[in-house]
Amino acid sequence: MTEILKRTPLFENHVALGGRMVGFGGWEMPVQYSSIKDEHLAVRQNAGIFDICHMGEFFVQGADAASFLDSLLTHDVTQLSPGWGQYNLLCNESGGVIDDLYLYCLKQDSYLLIVNASRLDVDWGWISEQKKNIGSNKQIFLENRSTQMGAIAVQGPSVKNWINECFEEEGRGNGVGKVSELKKNQINAYLFNGNKVWIGATGYTGEDGVEIIADNDLMAELWDSLLARGHVGCVQPAGLGARDTLRTEMCYPLYGHELTTETTPLEAGLGYFVDLKGADFIGKQALIDQKESGVRKRCVAFQMKGRSAPPRPEYPVYSQDEKKIGHVTSGTSSPSLNNGIGMAYVEIDHAKVGNMLEIEIRGRKFPAEIVKKPIYRKS
């Protein structure tokens, strides 16, 4: 049976711009407009604009919202002041990752979770069930606004030069004025044509930029305005293809690749975002036990040595003595480095930076080296 794909509020905009539409996580999304390489380099050198309306928006509010989130998420929520955000992980009892997500504190006792499209229903079901488990005497109010809201990401070094033209200040909320004044991970409310939007200085590319969260009925007008006001030659639409190559260069995980319910944050190299000394969250004890006993595998970054076809997910990884030690989770040809790169899970004894690997590509083995994350670094 043919899957019926959902469409974002920007579908017609993508078609008008010549976007090549593909299925992704149940959504019909643009994979590219011109070419993946051109769009990738536009983000690295100037700016690109991405439709991320397929992602989910959950609001968690009330006097007990922070303690509730602290019982679910790996990163200490109590450290989060109003107007700031943090990367976070939602784990099961075994420490496996249900999803990686972004948490914003909009104001005291008011939080916004941005979750992956492919995990939206799973996340909402899990969070709702945990709320039921703690009883009705807590002041926690959940609202899933994923069908009413969307988001657009504008990423690249030139964004700060023109982004203020698109929005009006709503007062110096959280001590911030213009959009360009937002510090990394900071969020504030602004006005777009008189309508309130939230803008966070976050992204999935490794470049400076912002993500704009607003009601769906503003999305098409907002997209067109950003394209029009971004100075000629400095911003162009970018699709899922460039989003993937950009995040792979930065070694940002993608759910279903580096992260699954069968992998833990410690195995994924995300221990920085796991507070094992703070509040008791679901999966904490399993992660404490794993840290004490040691992980058996680790997600590493690698770069191909010499010419080869691009590495792809699930390609086998071997040690130099031809022992199979893991598999590729993400792989591509890097537009910035003109070389094959990727991430892979390998046995912990082989996970040291500088170690040589063999990646099996189309039946042949090609040499690769484990490198320090991120693979791409700004000059």
Q: For the chain, which residues make up each domain, given as ranges?
A: 6-53+148-247, 56-144, 296-372
For 56-144, CATH gives: 3.30.70.1400
What pLDDT band is residue 90 in, cutting at 50, 70 and 90? very high
Residue 179 pLDDT more than 70?
yes
d(CA 295, CA 41): 36
Give me the pLDDT at residue 199, please.
Answer: 98
Residue with tokens 């995040």: 247
Give me the pLDDT at residue 174, please.
Answer: 65
Give me the pLDDT at residue 230, please.
Answer: 79
* pTM, to two decimals: 0.96
Instruction: Select the CATH number that applies to the domain covering 296-372 from these four: 3.40.50.720, 1.20.120.550, 2.40.30.110, 3.40.225.10.
Output: 2.40.30.110
What pLDDT band is residue 173 in, cutting at 50, 70 and 90? low
Residue 175 pLDDT more than 80?
no
Give me the pLDDT at residue 114, please.
Answer: 99
Residue 225 pLDDT more than 80?
yes
Amino acid at residue number 185: N
Question: Which tens digits make up the pLDDT trace of 114-137?
Answer: 999 999 999 999 999 999 999 888
Residue with tokens 């979750």: 115
Residue 147 pLDDT more than 80?
yes
Amino acid at residue number 310: P
Give me the pLDDT at residue 213, please.
Answer: 99
For residue 74, give the DSSP letter: S
Give me the pLDDT at residue 178, please.
Answer: 96
Question: Which tens digits make up the pLDDT trace of 261-277?
Answer: 999 999 999 999 999 99
- What angle do the packed helices 240-249 and 36-45 form, to 10 degrees? 60
Residue 1 pLDDT more than 70?
no
- Class of the domain covering 6-53+148-247: alpha beta
Dihedral angle, C-alpha 16, 18, 24, 27, nearest 10 °: 10
Please provide residue 124's backbone torsions phi and psi, each rounded to the nearest 5 degrees. -65, -40
What pLDDT band is residue 233 in, cutting at 50, 70 and 90? low
